[in-house]
Amino acid sequence: MDRSTNLDIEELKMTREQYILATQQNNLPKAENAHLYPVGIYGWRKRCLYFFVLLLLVTMIVNLAMTIWILKVMNFTVDGMGNLRVTKKGIRLEGISEFLLPLYVKEIHSRKDSPLVLQSDRNVTVNARNHMGQLTGQLTVGADAVEAQCKRFEVRASEDGRVLFSADEDEITIGAEKLKVTGTEGAVFGHSVETPHIRAEPSQDLRLESPTRSLIMEAPRGVQVRAAAGDFKATCRKELHLQSTEGEIFLNADTIRLGNLPTGSFSSSPSSPNPRQTVYELCACPNGKLYLSPAGVGSTCQFSSSICLWS
């Protein structure tokens, strides 16, 4: 009880002192000549602030107008910009476009109803590189030539993917069913040609020619030349050789003619006139040369053998 009573007395004293202090402050006389300072911005500072606010407003309006003009000129839309459209599958570009720097893409497709045209003032070059950045293939379309640089060049059919043409360092393969050469000078081969069949077009002639060198046809199992509905002619300037090392030369025809053979002269009696000779005897010299001798009752080759001395 004594402690609580003491605490209450002390609180009453403090409250009384605070009241006396507050009453004394209110009763103090105010200073009559106190200076009053206005709050705010006045004078040239206020004018500068308004000028800067106005300048900022004008700048914002100009920027907004320029932004709207650029959006309108570049044809910005929700899907893209101008002829450039952004789709789920990638980027779609319509119309004519110019690329001033290299273009790196994975695939380029044209629309279904229009072709894809790549155009350049000098040339169009398509490069392929590996994961290390090294050049592995190059296709250049220029004003003078079309060049392809790669390890192997292939042209495939669109239907079954069959190789129609392929070329590498070792060989060139043509997989088409027919190779057709329409040039007036034909096809020129610098070295040997291996083929199972050479055929001309219907109603056209087939001509194999070597203007300055020899023409050789070789086959281990034989060479067959056949003219089913026409003539077969072999013409040369000097000599025509028919040689068989192990077999024989067989001529099978209804009529065999040997033209421009030399003809020997023979007369049974020097005093009797020579009648018109219509039948001749075919003779052969030791070196194989053939000549004609007028036919008689017996063989006349011995009497006309002087032709063998000229050969």
How does pLDDT run across 205-222, given as a tens digit for each residue?
A: 777 777 787 778 777 888
Q: Is residue 147 part of a domain?
A: no
Per the model's pLDDT, the better-predicted residue between 225 and 142 turns out to be 142
- Residue whose pair of structure tokens reads 């070597």 in the numeric block: 210
User: Which phi and psi (to 5°) does residue 48 adopt?
Assistant: -65, -40
Is the pLDDT score of 185 beyond 90? no
Q: Is 164 within a domain?
A: no
Nearest Cα to Cα of residue 307 among 265, 276, 255 = 265
DSSP strands (E only) in the chain: 80-81, 84-86, 91-93, 124-129, 135-141, 146-149, 153-156, 163-167, 172-174, 280-284, 290-294
Domain around 284:
279-310
Please tell me the distance from the alpha carbon of residue 159 to that of residue 138, in angstroms, as a whole number.
26
Residue 221 domain-assigned (yes or no): no
Q: Answer yes or no: is 168 within a domain.
A: no
Using one digit for the tens of pLDDT, what is the confidence trace for 63-115? 999 999 988 888 787 777 777 777 787 777 777 777 788 778 788 877 777 88
Nearest Cα residue to 234 out of 225, 245, 243 = 225
The pLDDT assigned to 197 comes to: 79
Distance in angstroms (rounded) separating the CA atoms of residues 228 and 206: 13
pTM score? 0.40
Work out the pLDDT band at 55, boundaries 50, 70, 90: very high
Rounded (10°) CA dihedral 223, 229, 231, 234: -20
Residue 220 lies in a domain: no
- How many domains, the chain? 2
Q: How confident is the model at residue 191 (pLDDT cuts 50, 70, 90)?
A: confident
**Residue range 251-265: average pLDDT?**
78
The encoded tokens of residue 216 equal: 């050789």
Asked whether residue 62 is domain-assigned, the answer is yes
Q: Output the pLDDT for position 200.
A: 77
> Of 73, 94, 115, which residue constitutes the final position of a domain?
94
Place of tokens 């392809």: 148
Q: Would residue 240 count as lying in a domain?
A: no
Q: Report the distance separating Cα 136 and Cα 80, nearest Å.
A: 35
23 falls within a domain: no
Q: Which residues make beta-bridge pairs with 174?
A: 165
